[in-house]
Amino acid sequence: MSEFNLLPWREQRRLQSIRRWQWGFAVSAVVTVSAVGVLDQAWDAWLAEQHDRQHHAEQTMAQWQTELKTDALWQSRARMAQQVQADWGWWQQQQTRSWQAMQQWLSVPPRGVQIERATWRDQQWQLNGWALSEGHWKNWQTALAVAGFSSPSDRAQWAPPQWRQADGIAAKQHAFQLPLTYPNPATKP
């Protein structure tokens, strides 16, 4: 047997290993705490920079708004927007009145009359179209008058007959323009 004792060597290796682990743990703890501290400082610096940018942007916007409020174009557009808001009820009323008038004159059957274009302007309808004869046109005007519409006869335009082909049928037809004044809703039949 050998007199060589391996126990102190093993004990020494075990103690070195424990010291290495202790140093490794200490170094990793220091590195972790340092990394967290550095990240916290970096986050605070980035957050402060973002707050500065936001504050600068808000100041710039406030400056632009004061400049725009003094600008003549901005003031005129603001007045126009206020005018549109003020007139919005009137425009809705006009739209309702035009739809009611159109429904009423469409309820009169246009026998022998073809309407090509209808325009609502200045509280009246301007109708353009074709009629087979003057009799058809006069009968339709009479039916419109019974429905409550009025048409100034001096503004109605009547053209001489022309050959016209509609739906594969050729016929002589008269072109006309007829202004119709919107009837008072109280005079509806």
Closest CA to 108 of 153, 137, 140: 140
Q: Give the model confidence (pLDDT) of 11-35 as tens digits.
A: 888 889 999 999 999 999 999 999 9
Can you tell me whether residue 119 is helix, strand or coil? strand
What pLDDT does 44 receive?
A: 95
Q: Give the model confidence (pLDDT) of 37-83 as tens digits.
A: 999 999 999 999 999 999 999 999 999 888 877 778 888 888 999 99
pTM of the model: 0.47
Per-residue HEC secondary structure of 56-80 comes to HHHHHHHHHHHHHHHCHHHHHHHHH
- pLDDT band at 131; cut points 50, 70, 90: confident
* CATH class, 96-187 region: alpha beta
Return the residue matching tokens 């140093």.
23
Angle between helix 7-70 and 72-106 (nearest 10): 80
What are the Cα distances from residue 99, in Å, to 94, 120, 144, 161? 9, 10, 16, 32
